[in-house]
Chains A and B, each alone.
Chain A
Amino acid sequence: MKKLNKIDEQASFQVPAGYFEDFEHRLTQRIKGTNDATLPVKKSSLFKPWMTMAASFALIALIYTLVPEKFTQKQTQERTSELFLLEQQSELLNEYELIDWLTTMSSEEIDLYPDSLLFQDLNEEELLYLSYID
């Protein structure tokens, strides 16, 4: 096999005139630019973690004090008046019984009292009684 003869490939590549003379100057400009651009970020980064942490603690404290008062109580009230009754009802039938009941009963025979217009005038005990399916 013929051996590769030595070729000075470097001589085939050229650079623009004055490239090496100018390189250091351009490099220095870039390094100075990089330093200038990063300095303000570095300065402010000393304070940012503290500010972020303080803001986070304040936010957590605010959530702990306001959220239970504003929302949790209301949710609890709503749950006691509506959802509680529905849950009570669902406990009377298991899933298979409910499916069986829904498929065998005609639609006219089904009265779901918790949705009734009378609901507003009934107390919980009365509603339970009416909703009970024998």
Chain B
Amino acid sequence: MSVSDQEILALACIPEEKEQAFSLLVKKHQQRLYWHLRKMLIVHEDADDVLQNTFVKAWQNLEQFRGDSSIYTWLYRIATNEALNFLNKKRAELINNPEDLEVLLSKQLDNDPLYTGDEIEKRLQKSVLSLPDKQRLVFNMKYFDNMKYEEMARILDTSVGALKASYFHAVRKIEALINQELF
């Protein structure tokens, strides 16, 4: 039986029970957060690293969480910010590298033993990689995670209209790339 967010938060308020509350929180949300991060970062080790950072921040701030949003929305927001920061840091490290991060991640897909997608899936994933980070994020959340615009708006702190426009442009770009068979 799944534990509710309210039960986890109630436990977290008791200092002796904080560790148990956190353990329940990790068990409940680790997989969904991992797949979100993996689609953004492609490399398993990077997704693992950022997922750990996300939960470390959650542990440090659990007492301050006021419950204005669901725990999952809160965690998803931390994870998203961590992922965007991670990608920016990676780009800064590659400043003298002739190849862009997107190109390196595309190559990673070709050689990654932990990626088993067929050619069509690979082409789609490479097309998605060509999008700017925030547009890619919106595309992943809507297309792969089936998330509602209202929930996305809460996580990304933006309007539903902006998200719909962003998703529309992302789909148009990806369809164009796939039709032109650029990947």
Q: Which residues of A contact B (CB under 8 A)?
A: 1-4, 6-10, 12-16, 19-20, 23-24, 26-28, 30-31, 34
Contacts and interface: CB of A to CB of B under 8 A. Distances in A.
A14 B52 contact: no
Given A15-B114, A16-B114, A31-B56, A9 B171 contact: no
B39 A9 contact: yes
B115 A12 contact: yes
Q: Which 5 A-B pairs have the closest CB atoms?
A: A12-B117, A14-B114, A12-B121, A24-B26, A9-B144
28 contacts: A1-B175, A4-B171, A4-B178, A8-B144, A9-B117, A9-B124, A9-B125, A9-B144, A10-B144, A12-B116, A12-B117, A13-B44, A13-B117, A14-B115, A14-B116, A15-B44, A16-B114, A19-B48, A20-B31, A23-B26, A23-B51, A24-B23, A24-B27, A27-B52, A27-B55, A27-B56, A28-B23, A30-B56
Contacts of B55: 27
A30 B53 CA distance: 10
B97 interface: no
Contact of A16 (B23, B35, B44): B44
Contact of B120 (A7, A13, A20): A7
Nearest to A24: B26
A4 B121 contact: no
B143 interface: yes
A34 B55 CA distance: 13
Interface of B: 23, 26-27, 30-31, 34-35, 38-39, 44, 48, 51-52, 55-56, 59, 114-118, 120-121, 124-125, 143-144, 171, 174-175, 178-179
Nearest to B144: A9
- Chain B interface, >50% SS class: helix
Contacts of A30: 52, 56
Nearest to A1: B175
Nearest to A30: B52
B121 A9 contact: yes
Given A13-B114, A16-B44, A16-B114, A23 B143 contact: no
Given A13-B39, A26-B52, A31-B59, A4 B143 contact: yes
